[in-house]
Amino acid sequence: MGDNPQSRVDLELYLPRTPVISGAETARIMGFSTTEALYKARQAGRLPIDLFRLPGRRGWFAATPAVREWLHGVMSEGGVGTNPGDRR
């Protein structure tokens, strides 16, 4: 369904090559103006990916594959936001 291999390759330019992404990096990739905005979206249940804490580390983190899949979905669907029917 319109899966463009080129767009999948291009995503790798924006994502770190680590299994886990910091909250600050996740906020940047997902288009949030601040990490606080990302955390507020998580608290309100409007974040389409899971964030989690790591033992011995401060802050919240996201799994790189989850962010990759979200970004791919947004790009392939023409800019669908975090809520169903929310076009940006």
* CA dist., res. 50 & res. 55, Å (int): 16
Q: Which residues of 1-22 are buried (b: 16+ CB within 10 A; e: fewer)?
A: eeeeeeeeeeeeeeeeeeeebb
Q: What is the pLDDT of residue 4?
A: 55
pLDDT in tens, 25-77: 999 999 999 999 999 999 999 999 999 999 999 999 999 999 999 988 888 87
- Tell me phi and psi for residue 26, to 5 degrees: -60, -45
pLDDT value at 9 more than 70: no
